[in-house]
Amino acid sequence: MKIGIKGIRRIKGIRRASAVAVTTGAVLTAGALGSQAQAATLPTPGITAAGGFVMNNGTGSTLFAKAADTRRSTGSTTKIMTARVVLAQKGLNLNSQVTVQKAYSDYIVNNNWASSAHLIVGDKVTVGQLLYGLMLPSGCDAAYALADKFGTGSTRDARVKSFIGQMNATAKSLGMKNSHFDSFDGIGRGANYSTPRDLTKLASNAMKYSTFRTVVGTKSTKQKVTTKSGGYRYMSWTNTNNLLGSYQGTIGVKTGSGPEAKYCLVFAATRGGKTVIGTVLASPSVNNRTADAKKLMDYAFKK
Return the active site residues.
76, 79, 138
Helix-, strand-, coil-residue percentages of the chain, each rounded to 5: 45, 20, 35
Contact between residue 139 and residue 148 where contact means Cβ atoms under 8 Å apart: no
Contact between residue 266 and residue 253 where contact means Cβ atoms under 8 Å apart: yes
Cβ-based neighbours of 188, under 8 Å, separated by 6 or more? 73, 78, 181, 182
Beta bridge partners of 268: 252, 277
The DSSP code for 47 is: -
Q: How far apart are CA 296 and CA 216, in angstroms?
A: 20
Give SS3 for 90: coil
Per-position DSSP letters for 103-125, written without gaps between them: HHHHHHHH-TT-------TT-EE
Cis peptide before 253 (omega within 30 of 0): yes
